[in-house]
A = this chain, B = another copy of it.
């Protein structure tokens, strides 16, 4: 390291940005907030904010998630998650069936994604942003909190197009592409999610606490944008030890023959992995 002289180096602002993904009506969606002030006023952006002097990066991400979106997962986030054990925490918590939660949010997943520090990424000053990735089940519409003028779940496909969200429904006023370099951050987050569900059990983070094999399959299909064979998928996931734990109950909420309900098991890594079909 060079000689230590803090005053010789101009200050950096450090923020966290959040790529919050969920699956809604068969499509992968990301949480977006509308910016209330310049720069990029009126444009959609990823939720995020400044890191406080006394908090860890992951704590800052969890706090921002709760502040700006009203999301208050009771066990996996926003509280006292031990750092660098988020994954194990999110997995193991679903194993205790004695939680007196009527409709509480099951274990969402939070992990660091990457850090973006281009000198010109924010026109106001030098900002280094540590992006985090959150995988959440399908939630009721988020209520705006903090200073975000509005919050919505936006399908990721239009946002990832090369020239902004051109797939806007008629009558919905679109505001151009995402602010700052957030389109790139979102793309990195989506790519991470797509590859991580191949070799880990993280797809269950998109599901409610109890779910069917078919619902889990629709998660894979939405995230990957492909169709999977229901029979082989069923054999695969039920045959991987520790991936799914049957609860004994059944449901017909998808129609057809009643389906077994499962919870996420303790396994976090999938051997062999789920194979993503060629695109």
- A contact set with B: CB distance below 8 Å: 1-4, 6, 9-15, 35, 37, 45, 48-57, 83, 112, 114-115, 117-119, 124-126, 128, 130, 146-148
Contact = CB atoms under 8 A, between A and B. Distances in A.
Given A53-B126, A55-B119, A119-B54, A13 B9 contact: yes
B119 A50 contact: no
A177 to B, nearest CB: 17
B147 A130 contact: no
A51 B12 contact: yes
B14 A128 contact: yes
A57 B117 contact: yes
B118 A130 contact: no
A50 B128 CA distance: 13
Given A11-B11, A35-B1, A56 B118 contact: yes
Given A1-B49, A11-B12, A13-B12, A130 B117 contact: yes
11 contacts: A1-B35, A1-B49, A3-B147, A9-B53, A11-B12, A12-B14, A12-B128, A14-B117, A53-B119, A57-B117, A57-B128
Nearest to A68: B1
**What is the total number of copies of this protein in its complex?**
2
Nearest to A83: B118
A145 to B, nearest CB: 11
A50 B9 contact: yes
Contacts of A125: 6
Contact of A1 (B9, B53, B147): B147
Residue from A13, A14, A37, A49 whose CB has the most chain B CB atoms within 10 Å:
A14
- The 7 closest A-B CB pairs, nearest first, are A11-B11, A57-B117, A12-B14, A115-B115, A115-B130, A10-B53, A9-B50
Nearest to A119: B54
Contacts of A114: 112
A130 B128 CA distance: 10
Given A57-B117, A115-B57, A124 B4 contact: yes
Nearest to A130: B115
A225 to B, nearest CB: 19
B56 A117 contact: yes
A81 to B, nearest CB: 14
